[in-house]
Structure 1
Amino acid sequence: MMNIDVLSIFPEMFEGVFGHSILKKAAEKGAAGYNVVNFRDFANNKHQTVDDYPYGGGAGMVLKPQPIFDAVSDLKERAKSTSPRVILMCPQGERYTQKKAEELAREEHLIFICGHYEGYDERIREHVITDEISIGDYVLTGGELGAMVVIDSVVRLLPGVLGSEESHIQDSFSTGLLEHPHYTRPADFRGMKVPDVLVSGNHKLIDEWRMKESLRRTLQRRPDLLEEAELTEKQKKWLDELIKLNE
């Protein structure tokens, strides 16, 4: 089972997320366990303050090191885990990708630190965390929403969580490409028909159609992904044909 701890001064934000959908099912199946800790409880001052003014002046407040250092140490001791991945949700972190999700899904213990205010004391970065992650080039009020995104994307990759093991393998980005279009019944909806190949019963042609459409969609919407995608010779040939059609 993967143990997931979250440090946040707003732990109630996670109640709905962990109590529904895939994350709830993962907990019920014993694939993942969640623990949200208010790191304000670890503050060693009478008013339980976790932030202070930055040295050198400037706008905003900075999270103090002591509550987070002590909270992480406590979580490690309780879990008897000496090497968890300690993840700082931060706009300065590496941009989150499916590859990173797959990497984290191989871990046994993840600790997420969700900050607020202007930022973190730099000693937290230097001595506590193992990863800094950003879910995009924009700024959120706090790290909670970003942590929810990362946790959801990781937990769904754990063995036995999804109904079909092929589901996440075929997802967009898992193959380095965007996913092909999907259709369901009826085959003819208000004159809009499902492509003939999908109702042909010929699975070889269906697989080829899906791959070509995946390439087409990636070329149209995220051509940057093609620069690092590992394509077979057949896929490269199909891609060249698509590029020529678009010229």
Structure 2
Amino acid sequence: QTRLENLKELVNAMAQFDTLEAFLEHVSLVLDLDRNAGGDRVQIMTLHQAKGLEFPLVFLPGWEEGVFPSQRSIDEKGEKGLEEERRLAYVGVTRAKQDARISFAANRLVYGRWTSQLPSRFVDELPIDHVEAESDTGYYGVTPGMKEAKSRWDEMPTFGSGYSSPGWKRAQSFAAARAPAARPARHTLIEGDGRLVATADPQAGGGWSKGERVFHQKFGYGHIIGIEGNKLLVAFDKAGEKKVIDTFVEKT
């Protein structure tokens, strides 16, 4: 099974290139960079390889449930596997002398299929006093899958003050427009207290109608096959059926 998954990831990597020659040229370039040690450069390594090393700036991508911590490690070793992953998280963060930048994706291509991702539980364990939060997605706290992930960050009155991206602003507006009147105003992640009524009415659905062609930055072109409030069920030409927020697609 492991070898099969490795082959699928190889196919994913090759899909980024138009020809086999281009892919091999890229691989050759990477190998040349590995051989040429010395001087200022970006170093790409696993958390295991980083043990004992330190760098001024460290990027730690892929902090998502199932990716880090690894679902396979949890399935095979249970609580012991989770603790091993947590120790690796500590190793990664402490490799940074000055700045560690941790990121997670809302959607990821895993073994050739797009999947929705939840932030890693390790994100919730970061020391609040030493974290400056930012967001580039607008998905976090908006979709049903995301709002199931409760976090101690939710109760922080200042959480979100560092968010300045368009996606985060859309999420803030979405929450403010649908929050109960008695709910005190505060800056927080969206908890999804209200529920939208499903409708196929184009006017109630924000001017959308079934059969319309749309474009999504991640999933590409498709057509609407269902409308539920501001959520659209879209049959994408290449990514299959996905439910997306209407602000993330454009009419074509």
Q: What is the TM-score of this pair, normalised by structure 1? A: 0.26
If asked which structure has higher relative contact order (CA below 8 Å, sep 6+), I would say 1
Structure 1 or 2, whichever has the larger Rg, is 1
Normalized per residue, which structure has more helix?
Answer: 1
TM-score normalised over the length of structure 2: 0.25
